[in-house]
């Protein structure tokens, strides 16, 4: 295993089932997003640093838009996972606070959690970090509209089998 | 350095903008418009198809950075490529509203700097597809200047 391989850090006190599966959305694949774990209304993802994702060639730091895209997809996946019918979701809004610059040339990880689910809306929070989940690069919060359309996303195929409750 | 060259230099310094195919044009009145062509890679939901929220947010953030860097450069008299690169603003936070589903079409955006401050600047940005009167996505972002 080389240093650049993705390895999702432990999240203290949070039970995550590890998986390793490329994103099924074209944009997710475009930025190299990998699903790395799931838990109760949670999804974990990772992406490798790549020069094409850089926001400033002088610093080699990932563009803020990459972080936002990662948070959007991770939280969207968590929204689908959290619902029973598994229909597609659509982002209503999201806010991302960039807490500190991402470390240059470092892989990025993200964990999104649905903290409130209503009939039509999922409320999420998400953190993106390099190695230490306690020191997030960015924190995201926002909402998804559930059952936005009748299409069914297949992120829950493969290892993302619907979890049996209780 | 002219406005056109400056914008080009800031875009070149942002490799992620090239990956998304973002281009910038100035109209006769000097207004800056950015465009992102439709590409399969920007799709979030392939069944509809609809563009990914992350593609849209990324494009808006690039547009906001370009417009802000341009206005900052006018104030600070940035006169070299290196200084232009060093002038790329850092985002503090962005808030994105998804107003309509983004279809498999090209996207256009224009940013308006609401306030240029010594410490922080606030930029509002709107994205549309075939009808400018029907915004698809909007964003408000707060930025700081990198330490020189």
- Please name each of the domains of chain B with its CATH number: 3-144 (3.10.129.10)
Mean pLDDT of the region B10-33: 93
- Measured in angstroms, the CA of A66 and the nearest CA of chain B are apart by 7
**Distance in angstroms (rounded) separating the CA atoms of residues A114 and A144:** 10
Does position B74 have pLDDT exceeding 80, yes or no? no
pLDDT at residue number A159: 40
- In this structure, are residues B74 and B84 in contact, taking their beta carbons and an 8 Å threshold? no
End-to-end, the C-alpha distance of chain B in Å comes to 20
CA–CA distance from B4 to each of B8, B25, B58, B59, B67 (Å)?
A: 6, 8, 22, 19, 12
pLDDT at residue number B73: 78
User: How many CB pairs lie under 8 A apart between chains A and B?
Assistant: 138
Among residues B67, B45, B44, the alpha carbon closest in space to that of B54 is found at B44
φ/ψ (deg, to 5) at A75: -70, -35
pLDDT band at B145 (very low <50, low <70, confident <90, very high): confident
pLDDT at residue number A163: 43
Does position B103 have pLDDT exceeding 60, yes or no? yes
pLDDT at residue number A26: 94
| Least reliable range by pLDDT among A48-57, A96-105, A152-161, B64-73 | A152-161
Please report the beta strands in chain A, taking only residues with DSSP state E, as ranges in sequence order. 17-22, 34-39, 42-47, 54-56, 61-62, 89-98, 108-117, 121-129, 138-146
pLDDT in tens, A86-137: 778 999 999 999 999 889 999 999 999 999 999 999 999 999 999 999 999 9
- Measured in angstroms, the CA of B69 and the nearest CA of chain A are apart by 13
Closest residue to A95, CB basis, from B43, B61, B95: B95
pLDDT band at B148 (very low <50, low <70, confident <90, very high): low
pLDDT band at B75 (very low <50, low <70, confident <90, very high): low
**Distance in angstroms (rounded) separating the CA atoms of residues A19 and A107:** 17
More confident residue, B46 or B82: B46
Residues of B with CB under 8 A from a CB of A: 12-19, 40-48, 50-55, 57-59, 61-62, 85-86, 88, 90-98, 101
Structural domains for chain A:
17-146 (3.10.129.10)
pLDDT in tens, A41-87: 999 999 999 999 999 988 899 999 999 999 999 999 999 999 877 77
A141 CB within 8 Å of a chain B CB:
no
Does position B125 have pLDDT exceeding 80, yes or no? yes
Does position B27 have pLDDT exceeding 60, yes or no? yes
Does position B122 have pLDDT exceeding 80, yes or no? yes
């Amino acid at each position: 295993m080389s240093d650049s391989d993705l390895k999702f850090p432990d999240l203290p006190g949070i039970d995550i089932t590890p998986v390793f599966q490329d994103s099924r959305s074209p944009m997710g694949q475009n930025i190299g997003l990998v699903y790395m774990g799931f838990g109760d209304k949670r999804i974990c993802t990772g992406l490798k640093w790549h020069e094409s994702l850089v926001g400033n060639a002088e610093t080699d730091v990932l563009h803020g838009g990459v972080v936002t895209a990662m948070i959007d997809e991770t939280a969207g996946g968590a929204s689908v996972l959290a619902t029973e019918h598994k229909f597609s979701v659509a982002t209503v809004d999201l806010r991302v606070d960039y807490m500190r610059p991402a470390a240059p040339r470092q892989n990025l990880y993200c964990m999104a959690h649905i903290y409130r689910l209503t009939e039509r809306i999922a409320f999420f929070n998400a953190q993106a970090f390099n190695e230490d989940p306690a020191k997030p690069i960015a924190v995201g919060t926002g909402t998804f509209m559930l059952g936005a359309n009748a299409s069914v996303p297949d992120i829950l195929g493969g290892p993302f089998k619907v979890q049996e409750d209780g | 350095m002219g406005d056109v060259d400056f914008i080009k230099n800031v875009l070149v310094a942002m490799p992620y903008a090239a990956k998304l195919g973002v281009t910038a044009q100035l109209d006769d009145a000097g207004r800056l418009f950015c465009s992102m062509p439709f590409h399969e890679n920007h799709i979030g939901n392939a069944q509809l198809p609809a563009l990914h929220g992350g593609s849209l947010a990324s494009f808006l953030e690039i547009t906001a950075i370009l417009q802000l860097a341009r206005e900052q450069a006018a104030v600070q008299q940035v006169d070299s490529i290196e200084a232009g690169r060093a002038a790329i603003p850092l985002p503090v936070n962005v808030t994105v509203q998804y107003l309509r589903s983004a279809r498999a079409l090209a996207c256009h955006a224009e940013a308006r700097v609401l306030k240029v401050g010594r410490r922080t600047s606030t930029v509002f940005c709107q994205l549309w597809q075939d009808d400018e009167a029907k915004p698809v996505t909007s964003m408000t972002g707060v930025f700081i200047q990198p330490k020189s």
